[in-house]
Structure 1
Amino acid sequence: MSTLARLRNKRAALAFIFVTAVLDIVAMGIIIPVLPRLIEDFVGSNAQAGVINGVFVALWAGMQFVCSPIIGSLSDKYGRRPVILISCAGLALDYVLMALAPDLWWLALGRIIAGITSSSFTTIYAYMADITAPEKRARAYGLIGAAFSGGFVLGPVLGGFLGEFGPRVPFWFAAGLSTVAFLYGLLVLPESLPVEKRMDFSWKRANPVGSLILLRRHPELSGLSVVNFLLYFAHHVFSAVFVLYAAWRYGWGPREVGLLLALVGVLDMIVQGVLVGPVVKRLGDRWTMVLGLVGGTVGIAAMGWAPDGLMFIAAMLPNALWGLAMPTLQSLMTRRVGEDEQGQLQGANMSVASIAGVMSPLFFGWIYSLSVGEFAVIQMPGLAFYLAAVVLLLAAVIGWLVGRGQERRDAALVQAPPTP
């Protein structure tokens, strides 16, 4: 293949990854302002809806835990393109199912299917690893994060607006967006993984526990995996309780929630799309990651404390620095494995994140139910956010220690005399 043809393929791939990431996240973001309210309509209680919503998020994450390593290993064997396309089609069908859901059981089934199909996000990260040099991956992952954030700018706003016409309208719109993503990829997406670099499929690597063998085989990844787990654990406080918390404490409806989530997306897009590259260049991956985690700690604690909506919005500014952590964490981890293990690594990472995604929403949903309402055990609506801040601070400490140890080991290897 000529150099010009390779450049064209790379540009087409990057365009698809960014556009599809935006479309998929817009589709997911559309349902955020309305799904917890739909659950509340079924169960009739804000506090109880917090528990049920936590269970639904856990179902979604549980399916990611089971399916992410399988999908990652399948993409290592058969290529990235078919996995991404099948995911887009599956998401479209899932949103149709949820739009028609007559009860909680249908919604639960929809969350299960969504967990399976969205597991292909591991393949998107592996795709970027295929076409990006190791030293440029932090910025590349930052750009993916910016694309996701761009989706969250538009998605919740659309969801809040469409939700005014009925809680099921956003699901139909989301189905249409996922269909567009599938058709677009079918026409333009090139394969990124050459046949000679593919790895045979193995259930030992593809099962949820087996995928973690990669982390055990590379001990230097273990500490970073703990940071990954804690980061996702803290983050799920938003998916578990935010919409219900905003309605309970500040009286915000779908439109206000949608606009606020759009602001979150704008801030995250600025951080990941603009700041990651310069900050990494100045501070390095480790310190950039720690800075992001500390900023997130301050912001999320302030959200729990905020006595009014204006203070909650102000707390989003330090919280936005959280966007520095994920791309640099990804970059640190991808440098520790070979090119033929990138898909497996992303599957293992998603498995770790999914374990957090199962445990965290159940935990925060339970904490929320204990801290609001007439029968609250502890009258402290922001308790879930305070606990999430503690978890994030612990991640910052561990990330700093692990990163420092890795840098020292790398320096020792460079300085060591060659073996005769």
Structure 2
Amino acid sequence: MAGIGLIVPVMPSLIQQLTGEGIDRAAMLGGWLLFAYAAMQFLFAPVIGGLSDRFGRRPVLLATLALLGVDYALMAAAPDITWLFVGRLVSGIMGASYAAANSCIADSIAPERRGAAFGMLGGAGAAGFVLGPAIGGLIGQFGDRLPFIAAAVLCLIGVVFGLLRFEETLDPAQRRRFDPFRSNPFGTLVRMARIPLVIGCLGAIFLMQLASQSQLSVWAYYGTLKFGWTPAITGMTVALFGTLLVLTQGVLSGRMIARFGPVRTATVSLSFAVPSFLILAFAPSTPVVILGMVIGCVPGMCFPAMQQLMSPRVAEDAQGELQGAIASVISLTAIIGPPMMTGVFAAYADDRGLLFPGAPFVLAAGLMAGSVAVLVVTLARHGRGEAAR
């Protein structure tokens, strides 16, 4: 996650450098780069999850991390936008390995404590976004390609650490045969649809993550156009939000789940997302944006709570399949979201028409309201079992 965060602040200027286009066109191209990344994750997350169910988590994680490092190094030398697109396709395939990483939690943690563990893992990812954008924004001032080199180095460090310290979590007795008909996004989702609570939570996750694509897709462009942010300021705001997510996901989510249960934690925390996006949409200044970010970190507790509810409903030898399904749903939103959100942004970023850079966040608020509704109905019907108490 630190590697991904490193390149966020420099993407607008790098795209403009490679294409010679303005900020509105660069935003559209940035959205298609995210689309390319997400399309590969959508297709390959179930494959990698299935491979980790068959061969174990350790070899899959180490191999994908090593190849991701090579890919970042190649993107650092990109001579044109086509090369950058190819690099993002490869990054999407390798980045789908977080399905295997999440499966490590289910392998080694009791069901009633998985929410806290999922939260800590999410907090670790958010910590990567704390360091990544901050460092990327700073070193990006000396060259738009330097953050890609730094990301490659981080991947290499991760591989070395994994070889030395990371032990396999999946017992050989719990492994299953790799089935290509199951290990694809459609087969995986069909199997998950047989479990009402899981498919309902996946629906809520879809709407939630689709709304979140507004931040991932247009944040740098929004700040640049509305407030004149530099790459360093953009990096610092992303790092601040990452810090808040570290606190909510990594620290508070486990405590809230233990005290109030996963059902209440999921529904109440997610409801904070709607006002957060509306504040971002109409913020008149950077301090008000920060207020919206503070409120917007509270929904970070929702995802670990939902994972605690879903994981015990799935067989132990299919935890990788579940995480692959979750990853595919998230990746599907990243396929749909960037073109949609950057398209909305571009439509309202042209000073020849209505100038409203916050327009994508209004759409996001509506999507989040739908997510809250789906989650409330699902948990009211199916969330009162053993895992919810």
Same fold (TM over 0.5): yes
Matched, 1:31 2:11: no
Deviation at 1:43, TM superposition (A): 4.0
Q: Secondary structure at the match of 2:351?
A: coil
Distance 1:220 1:173 in 2: 41
Structure-2 residue corresponding to 1:401: 377
Q: Secondary structure at the match of 1:332?
A: helix
Deviation at 1:217, TM superposition (A): 2.3
Aligned match for 2:84, one of 107, 119, 132 = 107
Aligned match for 2:215, one of 228, 232, 238 = 238
Distance 1:223 1:321 in 2: 21
Q: Is the 8 A contact 1:286 1:399 kept in 2?
A: no
Structure-2 residue corresponding to 1:373: 350
Q: Is the 8 A contact 1:214 1:348 kept in 2?
A: no
Gaps of 5+ in 1: 1-24, 415-420
Instruction: Report the AA paired with residue 10 of structure 2.
Output: V
Distance 2:352 2:192 in 1: 44
Q: Secondary structure at the match of 2:177?
A: coil
Distance 1:219 1:307 in 2: 43
Instruction: Report the AA paired with residue 220 of structure 2.
Output: V
Deviation at 1:208, TM superposition (A): 2.0
CA, structure 1 residues 380+184, in 2 after alignment: closer, same or farther (shift >3 Å)? same
Distance 2:227 2:280 in 1: 12
Question: CA offsets, 1:356-395, max 9 Å, x none?
Answer: 110011100110110112344x432111011111111211
Deviation at 1:98, TM superposition (A): 1.1
Distance 1:365 1:216 in 2: 31
Instruction: Report the AA paired with residue 106 of structure 1.
Output: W
Deviation at 1:283, TM superposition (A): 2.0
Distance 1:407 1:183 in 2: 41
Distance 1:314 1:94 in 2: 37
User: Which of structures 1 and 2 has the bigger CA Rg?
Assistant: 1
Structure-2 residue corresponding to 1:388: 364
Structure-2 residue corresponding to 1:138: 115
Counting matched residue pairs gives 386
Structure-1 residue corresponding to 2:54: 77
Distance 2:26 2:206 in 1: 25
Distance 1:278 1:178 in 2: 32
Cα-Cα RMSD: 1.4
Question: CA offsets, 1:278-337, max 9 Å, x none?
Answer: 211222112211222111221121011101111111211111102111111111111211
Deviation at 1:211, TM superposition (A): 1.4
Q: Secondary structure at the match of 2:168?
A: coil
Question: CA offsets, 1:115-164, max 9 Å, x none?
Answer: 00010000000011101100000000110111111111111110011001
Question: CA offsets, 1:184-236, max 9 Å, x none?
Answer: 11122111111110010001101221111221222332111101111111111
Instruction: Report the AA paired with residue 28 of structure 1.
Output: I
Instruction: Report the AA paired with residue 393 of structure 1.
Output: A
Matched, 1:228 2:193: no
Gaps of 5+ in 2: none
Matched, 1:355 2:336: no
Matched, 1:44 2:54: no
TM-score, reference length from structure 1: 0.90
TM-score, reference length from structure 2: 0.97
Distance 1:40 1:214 in 2: 43
The farther-off stretch of 276-285 and 94-103 is 276-285
Shift >4 Å, 4+ stretches: none
Q: Is the 8 A contact 2:137 2:233 kept in 1?
A: yes
Distance 1:407 1:123 in 2: 25
Counterparts of 1:333-352 in structure 2, within 5 Å, are: 333-352=310-329
Counterparts of 1:133-212 in structure 2, within 5 Å, are: 133-212=110-189
Instruction: Report the AA paired with residue 347 of structure 1.
Output: G
Q: Secondary structure at the match of 1:245?
A: helix
Aligned match for 1:128, one of 78, 93, 105 = 105
